[in-house]
Amino acid sequence: MIQAGVAVVLLVLGYLFGRLAEKRHFKKLIEREAATQHVPVVATRYPPEDRAYDQQLVSGNVVIASDYFKAFLAGLINIFGGRVTPFESMLDRARRESVLRMKDAAIALGATYVFNIKFETSRIATGKVAAMEVLAYGTAMIPTSEEAVRPEIAHEV
């Protein structure tokens, strides 16, 4: 009886603290996404040709762990089948965080945007609790000096 009570208390605590941490992280993600929206991230494979750019690979990596409550729910869902929705929000947070870290790297280089973005995702199993690793990478487009943009335009002005 005591063991069942301890298990219930741990599940409730896992749910409450996990939910609180997730809400805080989503709030920070929204703030950081608004602050970095001036650097678009596009999935196209073809770079722009409007001016001369230097190109550099940038990446952002994150590992986000699940809480015990999500792991418990995912275990129940695995028994009965269906979408494992507890891990969907974890994966969404991981992807968004990795893109923001990649954007931070691009901004530090002076890039105007990142193209050809790709994701690598892997599950890291640590006992009964899962963690997700997400790597976002792409090519940062860094404008070269104004004189090197288009020499024919520089002479017209």
Q: What is the pLDDT of residues 11-39, one digit of tens each?
A: 788 778 878 888 998 999 999 999 999 99
Predicted confidence band at 81 (pLDDT cuts at 50, 70, 90)? Answer: confident
How many Å apart are CA 141 and CA 157, to the nearest integer?
25
Amino acid 146: pLDDT? 58
Total number of domains constituting the chain: 1
Collapsing DSSP states into helix, strand and coil, what is residue 149?
coil
Question: Which has more confidence, 6 or 59?
Answer: 59
Amino acid 156: pLDDT? 44
How many Å apart are CA 36 and CA 92, to the nearest integer?
18
Q: Which secondary structure element, helix H or strand E, spans residue 24, and what is its range?
A: helix 2-35
Mean of pLDDT values over 33-56: 89
How many Å apart are CA 39 and CA 19, to the nearest integer?
30
pLDDT above 70 for 53: yes
Which of 81, 155, 142, 147 lies closest to 115 in space, CA to CA?
A: 142
Amino acid 134: pLDDT? 95
Predicted confidence band at 79 (pLDDT cuts at 50, 70, 90)? Answer: confident
How many Å apart are CA 61 and CA 30, to the nearest integer?
18
Predicted confidence band at 155 (pLDDT cuts at 50, 70, 90)? Answer: very low
How many Å apart are CA 6 and CA 55, to the nearest integer?
55
pLDDT above 50 for 157: no
Predicted confidence band at 126 (pLDDT cuts at 50, 70, 90)? Answer: low
- Domain harbouring 101, CATH code: 3.30.110.70
Q: Give the range of the structural domain holding residue 52, as residue numbers without chain letter.
A: 2-156
pTM for the full predicted model: 0.78
Task: Please give the DSSP secondary-structure letter assigned to residue 110.
Answer: T
**Contact between residue 41 and residue 121 where contact means Cβ atoms under 8 Å apart:** no
How many Å apart are CA 31 and CA 26, to the nearest integer?
9
Amino acid 112: pLDDT? 92
Amino acid 125: pLDDT? 72
Q: Can you point out the beta strands (E) in the chain?
A: 53-65, 113-126, 129-143
Strands in 129-143's sheet, in edge-to-edge order, are 53-65, 129-143, 113-126
